[in-house]
Amino acid sequence: MANARLKDLFDRSVAKKLSAAEKEELLELMGAEENEEQVKALFQYSWNNFTPANPVFRKAKSEELLHRLEQRIKPVKIIRLWPKIVAAASILVLFSAGGYFIYHKSTSVTNSEAAAVNIGPGKNKAILILANGRQIILSAAGSGNIARQGNMTISKVAAGAIAYNGAGAGKDTPAYNTIVTPRGGQYRLTLADGTMVWLNALSSLKYPANFTGRDRTVELSGEGYFEVAHNKAMPFRVKTPGQIVEVLGTHFDINAYQNESATKTTLLAGSVKITHDQTEKLLAPGEQASVNARSFDIVKKNTEEAVAWKNGYFRFIDTPLPIILRQFERWYNITVVYDGPVSDQYFSGKITRSADLSRVLKILEQGGIRYELKDRQLTILSADK
């Protein structure tokens, strides 16, 4: 039986009349297995009634475009997006200036094409810098104890994770360690108090091996997701350039990359207090604070988008192309340059972070993005080239 709500949302998306919440609902309906045949029919109808007036494809010859689409979507196979994406294929639903479409990337790329753009995804890798200056390459370290500091033992507990264990808080001056993830790296650590921290690519966290005193303070650069162990007597503070986040016990994400326009703190559970230039604001679950030199704002936010990286995928909701490409830069260890004006397109969709770069770029190509990839430099070409 046809889903009337699915058809209504689909039709209004083509007319560019969907709200952000409705786009989320449409993605959910399209991912439902029972709607597979209806989604196929809707897309087939869309292709059959395609016209070059669509802004995304305005400069494309309609016959050439239809041939390209025909080659890529026959047979059309809608793979359930939730809760996981099959590793052998990459699917992304793109909402752009001209509506949206779904692209299924099969494994039919030729060897020469794959060799030209085959850059693998990031991995679990980081360097641990101890207070005495000793550096430990964590990806090369074996499981078990890897260092000891006072009454604290540092152990590699799993691939991509370390943990601190010991007798609890002491009175000695704490020894500060730093964990650093490179481009194309990520890592997880459990601090001495039981707080768990996930670090995204190109990030660092400075923290004490053992928490002493009246608070638990760490310093973050880049992006980190925190699940803070509750301790009412010792507030947990995260310092980033321009702000301090204070909590007792909660789950939140901080994106503090220097090449982004603002530091963004997204709260999933609990409550946090953010201080910026002596101004304090409280954040509630489902809200995001945006801080830069000119503003300090709080807005409602889809938390799934903010923590998608921690859960193993990219998630975009009306996201500008440059922000998407900066995420790709950090995860795939590439450099992005622009040959001409920067595209003003916005995209929404979801794709696994385990996909090779070639798969991700092929998907963006279907949204009208033209590019050249040489070594690790990705050049985004202007539309008229």
Helix (H, G, I), strand (E, B) or coil at 4: helix
Instruction: Classify residue 206 by burial, with Cβ atoms within 10 Å: 0-12, 13-18, 19+.
Output: middle
Which region among 91-95, 172-176, 256-260 has the lowest average model confidence (pLDDT)? 91-95
CA dihedral 254, 260, 261, 262 (to 10 degrees): 10
Same-domain check for residues 229 and 342? no
Q: What is the pLDDT of residue 366?
A: 80
Is the CB of residue 92 less than 8 Å from the CB of residue 328?
no
pTM of the model: 0.73
Is the CB of residue 168 less than 8 Å from the CB of residue 157?
no
Pick from 289, 306, 323: which residue ends a domain?
306
Range of the domain at 129: 123-306
pLDDT tens digits, 175-191: 999 999 999 999 999 99
Helix (H, G, I), strand (E, B) or coil at 282: strand
* CATH number of the domain encompassing residue 295: 2.60.120.1440
Structure tokens at 8: 């209504």
* CATH number of the domain encompassing residue 22: 3.55.50.30
pLDDT tens digits, 2-15: 788 888 888 887 66
Same-domain check for residues 302 and 312? no
Pick from 282, 306, 330: which residue ends a domain?
306
How many structural domains does the chain have? 2
Is the CB of residue 12 less than 8 Å from the CB of residue 22?
yes
Going by C-alpha positions, the residue among 308, 307, 329, 306 that lies closest to residue 184 is 329
Whole-number percent of the chain with pLDDT over 70: 76
Same-domain check for residues 269 and 369? no
Same-domain check for residues 63 and 179? no
Query: Which whole number is the average pLDDT over 5-28?
Result: 77
Same-domain check for residues 58 and 202? no
Contacts of 34 (CB under 8 A, 6+ apart): none
CA dihedral 354, 358, 360, 366 (to 10 degrees): -160
Same-domain check for residues 61 and 166? no
Res. 235: pLDDT tops 90: yes
Same-domain check for residues 199 and 79? no
Distance CA 220, CA 201 (A): 12
- The segment with the largest mean pLDDT, out of 104-108, 131-135, 209-213, is 131-135
For all residues of the chain together, what is the average pLDDT? 80
Please state the φ and ψ torsions of residue 78, each to the nearest 5 degrees: -90, 115
Same-domain check for residues 28 and 84? yes
Pick from 238, 271, 306: which residue ends a domain?
306
Q: What is the pLDDT of residue 34?
A: 75
Same-domain check for residues 16 and 60? yes
Same-domain check for residues 197 and 215? yes
Res. 143: pLDDT tops 60: yes
Same-domain check for residues 257 and 380? no
pLDDT tens digits, 189-204: 999 999 999 999 999 9
Dihedral sign of CA atoms 7, 13, 17, 20 in order: positive
Same-domain check for residues 290 and 326? no
Res. 32: pLDDT tops 60: yes
